[in-house]
Chain A
Amino acid sequence: MIVSSTTIWEALRGLLLGWGIPYAWAQAIMLFVAFLTVALFIIITVLLLTLLERRLIGWIQLRPGPNRVGGRTGILQPIADALKLLFKEDIIPLNVDRPSYLCAPYVVFIPVMLMFVVLPFGISIINGAYKYIIISDLNIGLAYIIALGSIQVIGIIMAGWGSGNKYALFGAMRSVAQIISYEVPMVLSLISVALFAGSLSLIDIVQAQSTLWAFIPLFPAFIIMLITAIAETNRCPFDLPEAESEIVAGFHIEYSGMRFALFYLAEYVSIFVMSSLITICFFGGWKGPMFLGESGLWFTSMFWFMAKTFFFVWCFIWFRGTFPRIRVDQLMVFAWKFLLPVAVLQLIYVGWAITYRNPVFSAFRIPSNSALQAYKGELSSYDYMTMGGALKVLTTSEQVAFGISVIVAIGVALFLAAILWRTYLGYKPSHVFTMELAQKGRENDD
């Protein structure tokens, strides 16, 4: 059932207007509240993430991590770090290009903050009507986030150029090359999501996954998104722009104090935003078993959203603890010669599946018979078909196409299952593995 619903911010506007506050003032108050909410959320998230990352990396490396400030848990460590950064002297070197040097942290940070405008955190019921927990449901939400992600590149190259430091410039140039290269497969994989959902609005994308989370039909796109999200946020194994061992700290080498903290904030917030984007586009956003019923819908929906998002944040940290940094040429080859063809193949596959009305890809977009009645004015709302129902209305050629897609899916599933099987058996190089298999076969023959 597709319900017409609005956002909680429109509910707030209604409340303010109901109190007799003029429209302009209500708008201003809402802006202020939104800014305050996002700023608070960002600060709390980043404080949490810094501690989380250091502890988790410590556990991966069999050491405890920060455990001195605030007891054995190190719970006050991020606050101590924040205080240190606040009271540090903000050094501006003599030979910097002042305008770009001073603007760069804000150009990096503000787009990341603006991304929160379109992130749907959940759904709630206010006065019997569904309200999405989101600041603004832009109908171009996905394009908006991608565009803001590209603005970050400008900030990074401003920082690199403005610092007047060769390492900073190297880092910035690497970063630009990397982000531009990885944006292409990322956008292609997100386009396949948009094709799947039939919309660029993030709320529509989440609603499209009511029956089936998108990572199942779009598994390659999900993997590509996961990899490119890591590259977009300049994190290990794609942390070439900040490679300590090669170019001391990359583009933020000359920054200190709060300006450095802004870069730091932007990095961690973009980790959160990218994780939530993966959650929204591939893992059904806030969807999940709503165990508190309708009254607690706001809590359960936000709980599922945050749980999934923090799972992917954990994945980011996990990958950082696992993979070594890759070389620059490997970076480019990986993006252009592996990720891009796979993304294009995935896109072709999705387009083909939607053209042939494959129920797995587009069941929710095939209107049921009630749509005709709704069109005639006999019904006030209509529903989409279920997957089984959609399977029955296919023509012969569409059924053949569906069969082919099932065979392809089985092939991909077998490939993934083989990888998991090898993983389950433990690390062995392939030639050793096959030799042992042959040995076993010989023993069985005997």
Chain B
Amino acid sequence: MTEETNISILPEPEAASEYHEKPFAETVSSGFKVFALFAIGWFLIVFLILKGLHLLDETAGLTLSGKIVLALVAGTPLVLAVLVLLRFYWWLSLYMAHFSIWGRALNWAKYFWFVALIASTYAYIDPLDNVGRSIARALPIDQLAVYGIPPFNPALVLFRLVVLLLILLFCFSYIKLAAEIAWNWMKEAWEMAVSFPQGLVISATNFLRPNICVEYPEYRDELPENFRGRHLLASDDSGKHLCIACRACERACPDRLILISAVRNPETKKLELTGFLLDNSRCCFCGLCEDSCPTYAVRHTTDFEYSCYDRSDLVLDLFGEYIVRTAEARGKLGGANVS
């Protein structure tokens, strides 16, 4: 029982991603080639440095046994150092082969041109003349001295050409990438540089345009018909209001501002309005009361100038206002329509 539950609790072994499932050599197939190349290159570099620093000059006079002793005595620490470096820094070769996994971004490519520039410049100029001297010594070529032209080392020129070619060959894709990034950056910079004077021209031409400002108390625009201002209880020509006290607006109002009171007329069995209050101070002027009214009795007027000193003054008594407003019209008709 317990074992079973334990087993069921254990998470199922996830389907490992392809990357983790495959052996190392398959995912990064060129890794070991690069490793080997790196090792050879490392030995070459060390050899060239030793050669350049004239540390191998004295070996020419030694016998074969002397050379072997020298290699064992002097070379062993060097070989050990190289081995240690390879042992602990082998991953550098992988990164050299796959720059793009470095930092999981191509940020390095932005600056690669700089590194390439520095490295190639150093190799090209060869300020300590290590490479040039070594090559000149290794190859049986004498320096040509033509009259009027400074000494010319064909081996060095050959080396420089090879360096340039190698940089182009090995780094072509990286240089291309860096150039693309630089090009995009330059395009962005150009876009920015162009947009500044364009914006300035737009604002400068605004100096010459007429004002669109309506200076309110003196001048005022005509408001559109559907402007949502203060509310009104509408009435027909005879002065009778249109409200049937269905309370649709009360229900529609999102802020619950409307309070309607009505009594049922025992003769006609119809609801007669007795009060219509609306708290305008919290109204959001959405117009839903107007929309929901079946008889179009509640309306927004275009009146918006009704500021007052007390919030309670904003509670509109629409029914009372209607009574006062239509008193004259209803009076002409004998005051019979007062409900």
Residues of A within 8 A of B139 (CB): none
Residue B191 at the chain A interface, CB threshold 8 Å? yes
Cβ 8 A contact of A321, one of B191, B197, B203: B203
Contacts A59-B207, A60-B203, A322-B203 given: A423-B212 contact, CB under 8 Å? Answer: no
Query: Min CB distance, A123 to chain B, in Å?
Result: 32
Name the residue on A nearest B212 (C-beta): A62
Q: How many residues of A contact B (CB 8 A)?
A: 21
Contacts A64-B213, A419-B197, A423-B194 given: A318-B187 contact, CB under 8 Å? Answer: no
Q: Are A318 and B198 in contact (CB under 8 A)?
A: no
Residues of A within 8 A of B213 (CB): 62-64
Query: Min CB distance, B70 to chain A, in Å?
Result: 51
Cβ 8 A contact of A430, one of B191, B196, B203, B209: B191
Interface SS, B side = helix
Q: How many residues of B contact A (CB 8 A)?
A: 23
Name the residue on A nearest B201 (C-beta): A423
Residue B62 at the chain A interface, CB threshold 8 Å? no
Residues of B within 8 A of A63 (CB): 211-213
Residue A422 at the chain B interface, CB threshold 8 Å? yes
Cβ 8 A contact of B200, one of A59, A61, A67, A322: A322
What's the Cα separation between A16 and B198 when bound, in Å?
56
Q: What is the 8 Å Cβ interface bit string for chain A, positions 421-432, against chain B (1 contact, 0 not)?
A: 011001101100
Q: Are B203 and A423 in contact (CB under 8 A)?
A: no
Which residues between 201 and 218 of chain B lie within 8 Å of chain A, taking CB atoms?
201-204, 206-207, 209-213, 215
Query: Min CB distance, A72 to chain B, in Å?
Result: 10
Residues of A within 8 A of B194 (CB): 419, 422-423, 430
Q: Are A423 and B204 in contact (CB under 8 A)?
A: no
Residues of A within 8 A of B190 (CB): 430
Cβ 8 A contact of B198, one of A60, A319, A423: A423
What's the Cα separation between A322 and B202 when bound, in Å?
8
Q: Are A429 and B212 in contact (CB under 8 A)?
A: no
What's the Cα separation between A319 and B209 when bound, in Å?
18
Q: Identify the interface centre among A59, A61, A420, A423: most chain B CB within 10 Å of its CB.
A: A423
Residues of A within 8 A of B15 (CB): none
What's the Cα separation between A366 and B200 when bound, in Å?
40
Residue B138 at the chain A interface, CB threshold 8 Å? no
Contacts A322-B199, A323-B199, A423-B198 given: A62-B206 contact, CB under 8 Å? Answer: yes
Q: Are B203 and A427 in contact (CB under 8 A)?
A: no
Residue B146 at the chain A interface, CB threshold 8 Å? no
What's the Cα separation between A202 and B209 when bound, in Å?
40
Residue A56 at the chain B interface, CB threshold 8 Å? yes
Q: Are B206 and A430 in contact (CB under 8 A)?
A: no
Cβ 8 A contact of A318, one of B191, B203, B209, B211: B203
Q: Are B203 and A62 in contact (CB under 8 A)?
A: no
Name the residue on A nearest B191 (C-beta): A430
Known: A60-B206, A319-B200, A427-B202. 10 other contacts (CB 8 A): A60-B203, A62-B213, A63-B211, A64-B211, A64-B213, A323-B196, A423-B201, A426-B198, A427-B198, A430-B194
Interface set of B (CB-CB < 8 Å, partner A):
187, 190-191, 193-204, 206-207, 209-213, 215
Interface set of A (CB-CB < 8 Å, partner B):
56, 59-64, 67, 318-319, 321-323, 419-420, 422-423, 426-427, 429-430
A-B residue pairs in contact (CB < 8 Å), sample of 16: A59-B206, A62-B206, A62-B210, A319-B200, A321-B203, A322-B199, A322-B203, A323-B199, A419-B197, A423-B194, A426-B198, A427-B198, A427-B199, A427-B202, A429-B191, A430-B190
